[in-house]
Copies of this chain bind each other. A is one copy, B any other.
Amino acid sequence: MTPLSYALLGLVHQEPRSGYALRKVFETTPLGNYSSSPGSIYPALKNLEKSGLIVSRPQGTRKAVFVMTPAGRQAFETWLAQPVTRDDVARSMDALMMRFALLHDHPDHGLTRCFLTAFAAACREEMAGLDAFMSGEMWAQMPLQSRLAVQFGRATTETAADWADGALRQLETEWGG
């Protein structure tokens, strides 16, 4: 199961869609940087079908769409509930954002809360790691531009942490009533 597979699974979970409709989502929305090339989507869909997570349902005169199976729902839930690690934050931000967006469809707000707090915590862990590196003996010997590049990573991570705080507040307001 690749990130792309999960993204497709989540989109099919939102509503039954055809392969082409799924491609269109990646083409027309700036959610994550997944490719919409047929060479990636169709093989991934075949794979999901072979694994029994989705099935193709013919639509009478209209073209067939994929729908989720119980096993697919199960796999999707498991994915949504996975922990957020420091490594995810450093390396797979796109996949995390896709997961966050797809969490929307889950009725249990606790999962989203949990995701956002874990995300913010992982960001701050990563920031602490970078701060430690910036205090190490290597730091002084690095050329200025390498240091600036590291500082870029730190700034980006801080923005991510702040975003998570804001998002959580906004969602609590939305839900909270």
Which of the listed residues A31, A91, A156, A170 has the most CB atoms from chain B within 10 Å of its own CB? A156
User: What is the oligomeric copy number?
Assistant: 2
Decide if A104 touches B145 in the complex (CB within 8 Å).
yes
Chain B residue contacts of A144, Cβ below 8 A: 104, 170-171, 174
For window 72-99 of chain A, which residues contact chain B by CB distance below 8 Å?
A: 90-91, 97-98
Chain B residue contacts of A142, Cβ below 8 A: 29
Query: How many residues from A make CB contacts under 8 Å with B?
Result: 42
Decide if B145 touches A155 in the complex (CB within 8 Å).
no
CA distance A156 to B157 in the complex (A): 9
Answer whether A97 and B149 are a contact pair too, CB < 8 Å, given A90-B33, A143-B104, A159-B155. Answer: yes
Chain B residue contacts of A145, Cβ below 8 A: 100-101, 103-104, 112, 171
